[in-house]
């Protein structure tokens, strides 16, 4: 695996966002058609198996989370960001999968791969998950599908359990019809970058980022709706401690559906944090520091040392 790459690797970072902390480095790898970034402390000081794995949302990629090591440098010593199939630098048509759970399998594979790497180095692993939007739904489905995943805790940000983005009726109808006959036709996802954060620098960086796409094929759209309905029906079967991070001014996903899901989920270890004035991307909002503090507290609460 190549080492000592440029900290930013050509990714677009919003103005004012921190880069990698001093003494941190980035590596990249590809496996099964996926691209992954691993940020970690210097080899000589990398002594902890505690790691954070990040699952991004629809249309974005792991490179948009370059500020995470700065905020988690006192909680973990490595941050692993995976680009899902059809996203970022991974293989596949942008915004397309034939079956949604292909992405779930990618998430499971990524967790297992990180687990193996940590165990090879330290003899054990301690993996925590941060998952946003579509990535949040993917994480929930992964935990439900494979209850034995080696995950200590998860923070689920604005999970895609209901849609607020207004898709024109004609496009919805066409998508359902085309999903069977021309499922790979790329259409616009109708996402407005201005609804992601109150921080204008975030939307500007999103628009300028060539690895971000706003594409959604009819097949993916149909699969996405099916997965949302199925995931929202879960009432149990997830044992990973879950912290839900809910943006109450979310204009992309339906925050009420997240609160409803969290309330009905049978779990002895769950928590809900709400942010009344925040838009969709709580970790990119003005005032995001308190979100990171909530995540750090959750990680510490479920770490091997507690």
Maximum distance among all alpha carbons in the chain? 58
CATH tag for 24-301 (out of 3.40.50.150, 3.30.300.30, 3.40.50.300, 3.40.50.1820): 3.40.50.1820
CB 202 within 8 A of CB 284: yes
Q: What is the pLDDT of residue 2?
A: 35
Tokens of 175: 């998508």
Half-sphere exposure (CA, 13 Å, Cβ side) for 227? 28
- Closest by Cα among 122, 111, 123 to 151: 111
Statement: the pTM of the whole predicted model exceeds 0.85: yes
Residue 55 main-chain phi, psi, to 5 deg? -115, 120
Half-sphere exposure (CA, 13 Å, Cβ side) for 277? 7
Integer Cα distance of 190 and 170 in angstroms: 13
> Tens of pLDDT along 262-280?
999 999 899 999 999 999 9
Q: What is the pLDDT of residue 167?
A: 53
pLDDT band at 174 (very low <50, low <70, confident <90, very high): low
Domain ranges of the chain: 24-301
pLDDT band at 18 (very low <50, low <70, confident <90, very high): very high
Q: What is the pLDDT of residue 151?
A: 99
């Amino acid at each position: 695996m190549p080492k000592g790459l440029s900290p930013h690797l050509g990714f677009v970072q919003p103005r004012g966002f921190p880069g990698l902390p001093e003494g941190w480095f980035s590596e990249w790898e590809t496996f099964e058609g996926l691209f992954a970034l691993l940020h970690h402390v210097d080899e000589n000081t990398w002594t902890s198996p505690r790691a954070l794995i990040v699952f991004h949302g629809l249309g974005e990629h792991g490179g948009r989370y370059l500020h995470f090591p700065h905020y988690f440098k006192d909680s973990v010593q490595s941050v692993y960001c995976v680009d899902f199939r059809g996203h970022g630098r991974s293989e596949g048509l942008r915004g397309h999968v034939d079956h949604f759970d292909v992405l779930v399998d990618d998430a499971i594979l990524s967790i297992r791969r990180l687990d193996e790497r940590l165990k090879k180095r330290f003899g054990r692993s301690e993996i925590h998950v941060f998952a946003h939007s579509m990535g949040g739904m993917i994480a929930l489905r992964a935990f439900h599908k494979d209850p034995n995943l080696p995950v200590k805790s998860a923070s689920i940000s604005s999970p895609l359990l209901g849609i607020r983005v207004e898709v024109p009726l004609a496009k919805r109808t066409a998508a359902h019809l085309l999903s069977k006959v021309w499922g790979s036709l790329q259409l616009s996802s109708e996402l407005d970058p201005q609804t992601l954060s109150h921080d204008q620098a975030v939307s500007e960086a999103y628009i300028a980022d060539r690895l971000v796409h706003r594409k959604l094929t009819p097949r993916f759209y149909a699969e996405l709706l099916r997965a949302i309905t199925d995931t929202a029906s879960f009432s149990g079967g997830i044992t990973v401690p879950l912290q839900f991070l809910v943006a109450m001014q979310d204009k992309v996903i339906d925050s009420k559906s997240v609160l409803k899901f969290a309330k009905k989920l049978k779990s002895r270890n769950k928590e809900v944090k709400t942010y009344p004035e925040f838009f969709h991307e709580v970790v990119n909002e003005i005032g995001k520091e308190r979100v990171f503090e909530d995540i750090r507290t959750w990680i510490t609460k479920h770490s091997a040392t507690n």
